[in-house]
Amino acid sequence: MRIHYECIACAVNQAQKITEMSAEDSGKRRKAMLFVAGKLGELFSEDSIPAVSGGMLFLELYRFLGDDDPFSGYKETSRKLAQRVAGDLGVPVDFKTALKLAIAGNIIDFAVGYDPSKIEEDIIGVTREELGIDHSDELLRALENAEILLYLTDNCGEVYFDRLLLEFIRGRFPDLRIYVAAKDGPIINDATVRDLLEAGFNEFAEVISTGSRLPGTPLEYASEEFRRIFNAVDVVIAKGQANFETLSDLGDSRMFFLLKAKCPPIARELGVERGSLLCVRGGKIDD
């Protein structure tokens, strides 16, 4: 997915959050945001993929701030909340509910001010919603005929809901080989390989790194080993908007994107209402 007009402002807003999480001094914050302003023209163009250009901007900002993981506290909060609720819910008994739980994990606002007592109610509420694009039957058929699945994670806390879906898939398809991929190091609140190991994914799957810290899975920045695995698998499940941004242009029928259309550009790309829950094959409605 190429850049939409809103994407630059979105990246700047995220850069401001990073700056505020990392620096208390207003003078340092001002210098950081002026640094960001100077980088925008270098990193964004008409052909930019938002997650890639944004990710490069954030890593440059990390170096400027001298902080390699500004979201560490935020991620710990989200991890604890998600782990508790996912543990209470348990593995669903049907595939579509498991899919919706995986998508639902992406939508909870774990930021300061969120009422933790609402999380289970909110998650369950999402499972009652209809999917705006629903290729879940195609996904299930693809898994029935698959030997190898690659699952691309998104945010740190939501991996506990991803685990519920993957445990359902493991129970349904015990002979399926499953790879689960995460980032090589911290970037915003994305899951890392360390996060997956702490969540116990190695108990039922092979945990691998994309070889990159950039949001989503931009293959040109991935490791050779990751690309080898990516090319060899039968089905790819990709979570979240950044994976859609970086992989949807491939038009690969092996791929199924699970996400909520949180922003106008994603909704516009897919021709859906903002806020829609989606299971999209190949990244296009007409696939």
In a domain, 157, yes or no: yes
Nearest alpha carbon to residue 216 among 238, 200, 197:
238
One domain for residues 44 and 96: no
One domain for residues 92 and 20: no
DSSP annotation string for 74-128 = HHHHHHHHHHHHHHHH-S-SSHHHHHHHHHHTTT---STT--GGGHHHHHHHHHT
Phi, psi for 278 (deg, rounded to 5): -135, 140
One domain for residues 85 and 128: yes
R_g (Cα) of the chain, nearest Å: 18
How far apart CA 136 and CA 142 sit, in angstroms, is: 10
One domain for residues 151 and 167: yes
Q: Is the alpha carbon torsion for 157, 205, 214, 142 positive or negative? A: negative
One domain for residues 29 and 146: no
Average pLDDT of span 244-269: 96
104 pLDDT tier (thresholds 50, 70, 90):
confident
How far apart CA 194 and CA 14 sit, in angstroms, is: 23
Q: Is the alpha carbon torsion for 268, 17, 198, 160 positive or negative? A: negative
- Read off the pLDDT of residues 196-250 as tens digits, 9 standing for 90 and up: 999 999 999 999 999 999 999 999 999 999 999 999 999 999 999 999 999 999 9
pTM recorded for the entire structure: 0.94
User: At which of 50, 65, 80 does a domain end?
Assistant: 65
Domain boundaries, position 173: 72-281
Q: Say which CATH number the domain at 39 has.
A: 1.10.8.380
Structure tokens at 265: 């550009």
Instruction: Domain count for the chain, please give it.
Output: 2
In a domain, 272, yes or no: yes
